[in-house]
Amino acid sequence: MSSAAKTNAGNFFEDFSVGQVIEHATPRTVTEGDRALYGAIYPTRFAVPSSAEFAASVGLSAHPVEELIGFHVAFGKTVPDVSINAVANLGYAECRFHVPVVPGDTLRTSSEVIGLKQNSNGRTGVVWVRSTATNQRGEVAIDWARWVMVHKRSADSPAPETVVPSLADVVAPEDLVVPAGLDFSSYDDVAAGEPHRLGDYEVGERIDHVDGVTLTDAEHMMATRLWQNTAKVHFNTDARPDGRRLVYGGHVISLARALSFNGLANAQLVAAINAGAHVAPAFAGDTVHAWSEVLDTVTLDAPGVGALRLRLVATRGRDESMTLRGDDGTYADGVLLDLDLWALVPR
């Protein structure tokens, strides 16, 4: 007797409808183990998530983990329902970090479908969702929009009405959430690792982060499992025609963020992700480098706190010219990630 009815193959493009709300399974409690393993996988050295003493010195008595730990955990909850049958995750927008995630917090995620568009090949379509992660107190920890290309169950299925949501290009500075109590007025440059503050950065400045990390299948699969992200393309060599395991895009984001410490050590906290695009796929054997461009600088109301709007670019191999696009407007060869974010820095 078949038990196939008890298993779940995940949603295909036809299964989504605009306005649909999905409550994702498996709430997850963040622990100090997540902090330790994150530091083992990524070369991160930012002082706030690394040192409870440093965090307390800037007003954060409860020691937060890296914002991307919360993001990956919350994102991973959405995968079985949104993107387990994905071709690729395409982009992000309007991501805000509302309250710091600390060990002991339990995150659960829900998503609303906000857009659908069948692709011209008739075999795939793009699904837009807005996801919200809340903690055990019911507070919004993180919310974001993303869009993903998903396989259709059948090419013969009719196309839905096209709905493409309008998303902001950037989270406005006045909408950035500064963690309660954050105070950089007695900030320790020596402990943080660099002296460069808000006024030391100029709009248009580009920073080569110099260092690189070579991807391995073992590490990227372990990281992706840590977040309980079950997308087939990251683990199963049968899931892609070329037989290669696709590296989870969030893994590249975390690598680039960690590499950016060299030149942006004082970009202590990520306040928002304005936009993001996984420009090209990454695979084991690729060596990831990163560079940043300063897009804006803002003084915030919190004591001693400013914000840098940064374009964080991950590349396959080091590009000392820091070229984002060619003369024809398309992304330069080797660009893997184009991420637009706000980071909180001392001023």
Give whole-number Cα distances, 248 to 22, 47, 91, 278, 329, in Å: 22, 26, 13, 10, 26
Rounded to the nearest integer, the mean pLDDT of the chain is: 96
Which of 314, 320, 315 lies closest to 334 in space, CA to CA?
315
Q: Which pLDDT score is estimated for 36?
A: 98
- 235 pLDDT more than 70: yes
Residue at token pair 């974010």: 341
233 — pLDDT class (breaks 50, 70, 90): confident
1 — pLDDT class (breaks 50, 70, 90): low
Tell me the residue type at 332.
Answer: A
b/e code 191-223 from CB counts within 10 Å (16+ = b): ebbeebbbeebeeeeebbbeebbebebebbbeb
Q: How far apart are CA 323 and CA 335, in angstroms?
A: 9
89 — pLDDT class (breaks 50, 70, 90): confident
Q: Which pLDDT score is estimated for 4?
A: 62
Q: What is the mean pLDDT of residues 50-68?
A: 98
Q: How far apart are CA 95 and CA 240, in angstroms?
A: 29
pTM: 0.95
3-state SS, residue 57: helix
3 — pLDDT class (breaks 50, 70, 90): low
Q: What is the mean pLDDT of residues 304-332?
A: 97
pLDDT, one tens digit per residue, over 140-160 is: 999 999 999 999 999 999 999
Main-chain dihedrals φ then ψ at residue 157, nearest 5 degrees: -65, 140
Name all domains of the chain by residue range, CATH numbers in brackets. Answer: 3-346 (3.10.129.10)
- 23 pLDDT more than 90: yes
pLDDT, one tens digit per residue, over 163-187 is: 999 999 999 999 999 999 999 999 9
Q: Which pLDDT score is estimated for 175?
A: 97
Q: Counting runs of H as helices and runs of E as strands, what totals does the chain give?
A: 8, 11
pLDDT, one tens digit per residue, over 244-275 is: 999 999 999 999 999 999 999 999 999 999 99
pLDDT, one tens digit per residue, over 105-133 is: 999 999 999 999 999 999 999 999 999 99
Task: Give Cβ neighbours of residue 148 (< 8 Å, ≥ 6 apart).
Answer: 82, 83, 86, 88, 89, 90, 126, 127, 129
Please give the share of the chain, as a percent, with pLDDT higher than 90: 94
2 — pLDDT class (breaks 50, 70, 90): low
Q: Which two tokens stand for residue 45?
A: 């050295």
Q: Which pLDDT score is estimated for 232?
A: 87
Q: Are 289 and 205 in contact (CB under 8 A)?
A: no
Sign of the dihedral defined by the CA atoms of residues 79, 81, 87, 88, in that order:
negative
3-state SS, residue 37: helix
Q: How far apart are CA 49 and CA 327, in angstroms?
A: 40
Q: Which pLDDT score is estimated for 86?
A: 87
